Each structure stands twice: as C-alpha cells, then as structure tokens.
Amino acid sequence: MPDLGLEVLFKGKNMIRLLGGLWAALKISLISVALSIPLGILLGILMVRKEVVIRAVTRIYLEFIRIMPQLVLLFIVFFGSARAFGSDISGELSSVIVFTLWGTAEMGDLVRGAIISIPKHQYESSAALGLKNSQTYFYIIIPQTVRRLIPLSVNLITRMIKTTSLVLMIGVVEVTKVAQQIIEANRMTSPNAAFGVYLTVFLLYFIACWPLSLLARHLERKWG
C-alpha cells in the first residue's frame, strides 16, 4: 500500500481549514445566486418584450457573457477595474460581480425559455374563462413558469459552485488554495500529501454538488 498522504488531513486543524475554504467558495456562489435570481428574472422578462432596442441590448449582453470563459471575465473585472477606476477591488468582490453578471445572463435565458414555452392557448383560455390579466399571470402563467424554472435553477447553482473553483486564479483563498497551503506546509513530513489532499478537495466539491444535482433531477421528473 503506497503512502497516500491522507494522514495530513488529520493533523492539527487541517480538515477544518479545508472545510473553511470550501465555505469561502460556497459563500461566493450563494451570494451570487441570491443576486442573480431576481436580476435574471428581470432580464428574462425584458428579453421577451417586443422593443427592438431592449432585445438587441439584452441579446448582446447574453451572448458576450456566455461566449467568454468565466475566467476571462474574472480577469477583466479583477485586473481591469484597477485600471478603469483607479482603485483596487478585492478578489472576493470581483468574483461576486462576475458570477452575478454571469448568473444573471444564464438565469435570464432560462426565464425567457420558460416564458415562451407556455403555449398561447393558456393565455387565451384563461381570458375566455373571464380571468383578468393579473389573475391570468398569478394563477396560470407564473405557477407553470416556476415549475419549469426550479429544476433548471438548481442546476445553475451547482454550475455556480463548480465555477467558484476558478477564484483561486485571482488570489482568493478558497478550498483549493487552502489545499495548496497544507501541501506546502507538510512537504517534508508527508511528501505524498498532494494525492490525499487534492482527492479530498475533489470529494468535497462532489459532496457539495451531488445532492443538488439529484434534487434537480428529482424535481424535473416530478414536474416535467
């Protein structure tokens, strides 16, 4: 049995530190999700409007954010902000800004998809039944839209959590960075720590995302 470097995890506060790092990553994604959902709903509603200008602007925003790798966006905000505003913004704030911009775009597209997937006869039937416009939205359209949206939004949250691993590259101390520090600090005593510690990080991400994936799949089956 080769030395897998797992013993490092049980030394001192190493495991607690790793979990703290994971929490730092989760916090960034949770804040961004909390901001993206209302903004995304707003964007989605704007995107189905008929005005050409609104359509063009939202479309360009969506396409640009979606085609750029998230890491590029992080670099633009993190390194570019210092140049543009003459002041430095922290890695954490840059990540929240980028993930909110990205999450809003993705969420907006999901909302748009959910709205246009409601067939026209739903509106017509409810009007024929004598429901008011507000009643149509409240009792007919919104409940159906929400059912389609929730599984997709849960999936978006898992994507967001996975993407927070990138914030390491702009100097935010999160789980992978903590892992690097632990490996460096124990280089002499346990040279194989890289295997055990990175495996643990891998599994921590899995534990954070898997339940959400299962939930999304379950909801999709239940309401789909």
Partner 1 sequence: MNIDFMLEYLPLYEKAAVLTVRIGCEGILIALSVGVICALIQYGKIPVLRRIVSVYIELSRNTPLLVQLFFIYYGLPKIGISTNAEVCGALGLGFLGGSYMSEAIRSGLETIEPIQTESALSLGLKPYQVMRYVILPQAVSVSMPAFMANIIFLLKETSVFSAISLMDLMFTAKDLIGLYYKTTESLFMLVVFYLIILLPVSIIGRIIERRVRYAGFGA
Binding site for partner 1 (CB under 8 A): 2-5, 67-72, 75-76, 79-80, 82-83, 158, 162-163, 165-166, 168-169, 176, 179, 183, 191-192, 194-199, 201-202, 205-206, 209-210, 213
Distance CA 148, CA 153 (A): 9
Quick one: 206 or 223, whose CB is closer to partner 1? 206
The 10 Å Cβ neighbour count of residue 208 is 19
What CA–CA distances, in Å, run from 169 to 75, 94, 95, 123? 9, 12, 11, 48
Please, what is the minimum distance in Å from the beta carbon of residue 129 to partner 1?
27
Quick one: 53 or 120, whose CB is closer to partner 1? 120
Q: What is the DSSP letter of 87?
A: S
Please, what is the minimum distance in Å from the beta carbon of residue 54 to partner 1?
22
Quick one: 42 or 68, whose CB is closer to partner 1? 68
Please, what is the minimum distance in Å from the beta carbon of residue 63 to partner 1?
8
Distance CA 14, CA 175 (A): 11
Q: Is the dihedral of CA 29, 22, 91, 160 positive or negative?
A: negative
Quick one: 97 or 201, whose CB is closer to partner 1? 201
Contacts of 195 (CB under 8 A, 6+ apart): 4, 5
Residue 217: both structure tokens together: 């799949």
Quick one: 58 or 70, whose CB is closer to partner 1? 70
Q: Is the dihedral of CA 63, 68, 69, 71 positive or negative?
A: negative
Quick one: 9 or 194, whose CB is closer to partner 1? 194
The 10 Å Cβ neighbour count of residue 23 is 14
